[in-house]
Structure 1
Amino acid sequence: VGTQSISPLYWSIESGSHNCAKAMVEDLLTIRADRDNYYYGCDALFTRHPEVIHKLCVDARQLIWPLLDGLIWRSRISVQGHRRVNYYIKHLVQDGEGNFAQALEWLAASKDPRVAVHPVVVLFSDLMWTRVVMYHFLAERLYFAFTLAIFIISQSVFTRNADSQMGETENLVVFICRCFIYLGSMCFLLIRQVRLVIADFRAGDVMRFHGIPVPKCVLSAQDVGYIGLLTTLIIMCTQEPIFWCMGNMDGDFPGSGLFTSACPEAVSHLEIYSITAGVSMFLYWLLIMNLSIFSMQISAFVLVCGQVLGELLLFLTSLAFLILAFATSVSAISHQLPDFAGIDAASLSLLAISLGLFPSEKFLEIKESVWVTLLVVLFVIIVVAFLLNLLVAQLNQAYASVYIDMQGYA
Structure 2
Amino acid sequence: VPEKFFEALQSLTIRHVKYGVKGEYVKPFGKAILSGLEELAGPRWTPPVVTAWKNLWSRVSTCVGRSLNVGTNLITVALVNGDVERFREAIECAPRRDRMSWVTRVEVYGAIMSPLYWAIRDGKFAIAQFMIQDLLALRADRDAYYYGREHLWCTHPDIIPTLCSDCPMLVEDLLDGLLWHSQHVHDGKVRANYYIKELYGGPEENPDAWKTPLAVMCLKGQPQMFLHPVSVKLLELKWDRFGKKTFLSVQAFFVIIIALFTDGFLMHHTGDCGAEGLISRTAAGALAFIVFVAMSYFIVKQYWRGQTTVVRVFRMPILTPRLLCNPWNLARYISMCCLVFAASSTAPQCLGGGRRSEAPSSPSVGGGLEPEMHQIDFLMVVTAVTAISMWGQLIQALVISTRLAALTYTIGQLFSDVTRFMYLMGITLVSFAAALTALQEPGFEEFDVSTMNLLKHFLNLAPPTHYDFEALGMFLMVMFAIIIHVGLLSILIAQLALAYEHLSEDKAGYAKMNRAFVCVEVESCIPMRIRRKIWDAIDFDKPLEFDHGDEGPTGGIQVMELAIVRAHPKYKPDRIIRCTGTADPHDPWPVIRDVFEEGEGEGVVKKAAS
1:119 aligned residue: 229
1:241-292 deviations in whole A, cap 9, x for unaligned? x42243223xxxxxxxxxx34566xx99972222221211100012221100
SS of 2:377 mapped into structure 1 = helix
Query: Aligned pair 1:74/2:181, yes or no?
Result: yes
1:147 aligned residue: 257
1:347 aligned residue: 451
For 2:172, which of 58, 65, 78 is the aligned residue? Answer: 65
For 2:351, which of 224, 246, 249 is the aligned residue? Answer: 246
The structure whose Rg is larger is 2
CA contact (8 A) 1:71 1:120 kept: yes
1:295 aligned residue: 401
Name the aligned partner's letter for residue 334 of structure 1.
Q
Taking the aligned partners of 1:181 and 1:133, their CA distance within structure 2 comes to 26
CA contact (8 A) 2:289 2:336 kept: yes
Distance change in 2, residues 1:117/1:194 (3 Å) = same
Which moved further from structure 2: 213-222 or 38-47?
213-222
Offset, 1:321:
0.8
1:143-174 deviations in whole A, cap 9, x for unaligned? 111101111111222348xxxx96x7xx1111
2:411 aligned residue: 305
SS of 1:147 mapped into structure 2 = helix
Which moved further from structure 2: 326-335 or 267-276?
267-276
Offset, 1:325:
0.7
SS of 1:134 mapped into structure 2 = helix
Taking the aligned partners of 1:346 and 1:356, their CA distance within structure 2 comes to 15
Alignment of 1:162-241 (within 5 A): 171-193=274-296, 195-203=298-306, 205=308, 207=310, 214-217=319-322, 218-237=324-343, 239-240=345-346
CA contact (8 A) 1:245 1:262 kept: no
Aligned residue pairs: how many? 386
Q: CA RMSD in A?
A: 3.0
Query: Aligned pair 1:91/2:91, yes or no?
Result: no
1:255 aligned residue: none
CA contact (8 A) 1:239 1:272 kept: no
Higher relative contact order (CA 8 A, sep 6+): 2
Taking the aligned partners of 1:204 and 1:132, their CA distance within structure 2 comes to 21
Identity of aligned residues (%): 26
CA contact (8 A) 2:140 2:146 kept: yes
Name the aligned partner's letter for residue 284 of structure 1.
M
SS of 1:75 mapped into structure 2 = strand
Taking the aligned partners of 1:307 and 1:197, their CA distance within structure 2 comes to 32
CA contact (8 A) 2:402 2:508 kept: yes
1:115-139 deviations in whole A, cap 9, x for unaligned? 1111100001111011122212211
Which structure has more helix as a fraction of its residues? 1
Taking the aligned partners of 1:333 and 1:104, their CA distance within structure 2 comes to 62
Name the aligned partner's letter for residue 280 of structure 2.
C
Distance change in 2, residues 1:216/1:7 (3 Å) = same
CA contact (8 A) 2:129 2:170 kept: yes
Which structure has more strand as a fraction of its residues? 2
Query: Aligned pair 1:134/2:261, yes or no?
Result: no
Taking the aligned partners of 2:222 and 2:206, their CA distance within structure 1 comes to 25
2:389 aligned residue: 283
Taking the aligned partners of 2:201 and 2:326, their CA distance within structure 1 comes to 28
Taking the aligned partners of 1:326 and 1:211, their CA distance within structure 2 comes to 36
CA contact (8 A) 1:197 1:215 kept: no
1:41 aligned residue: 148
Name the aligned partner's letter for residue 460 of structure 2.
G
Taking the aligned partners of 1:239 and 1:311, their CA distance within structure 2 comes to 40
1:398 aligned residue: 499
SS of 1:358 mapped into structure 2 = coil
1:330 aligned residue: 436
For 2:421, which of 315, 331, 334 is the aligned residue? Answer: 315
Q: 5+ unaligned residues in a row in structure 1: which ranges?
A: 250-259
Distance change in 2, residues 1:61/1:237 (3 Å) = same
1:351-404 deviations in whole A, cap 9, x for unaligned? 1111111201x2x2x035433322211111111111111111111111111111
